[in-house]
Amino acid sequence: MDHGLFTISLDNIGRRFNRDWIFRRVNFTFTSGESYAILGPNGSGKSTLLQVLNASMGPSEGKISYTLNNAPLSHEHVYQHLALAAPYLELIEDFSMEEMIDFHFKFKSYLPGTDKQQVISLLNLKGGAGKQIRYFSSGMKQRLKLALAFCSDTPILMLDEPTSNLDQQGVDWYLQLVGQFTRERLTIVCSNQPHEYAFCKHQLNISDYKN
Separation CA 148–CA 151 (nearest Å): 5
- pLDDT value of position 184: 87
Domain boundaries, the chain: 6-209
Look up the CATH number of domain 6-209.
3.40.50.300
- pLDDT value of position 148: 97
- pLDDT value of position 198: 95
- pLDDT value of position 211: 67
User: Residue 72 in contact with residue 92, Cβ under 8 Å?
Assistant: no
- pLDDT value of position 1: 47
Segments of the chain scoring below 50 in pLDDT: 1
Separation CA 43–CA 17 (nearest Å): 13
pTM of the complete model: 0.94
- Give the distance, in angstroms, between the CA of residue 115 and the centroid of all CA atoms in the same chain: 20
Separation CA 32–CA 156 (nearest Å): 8
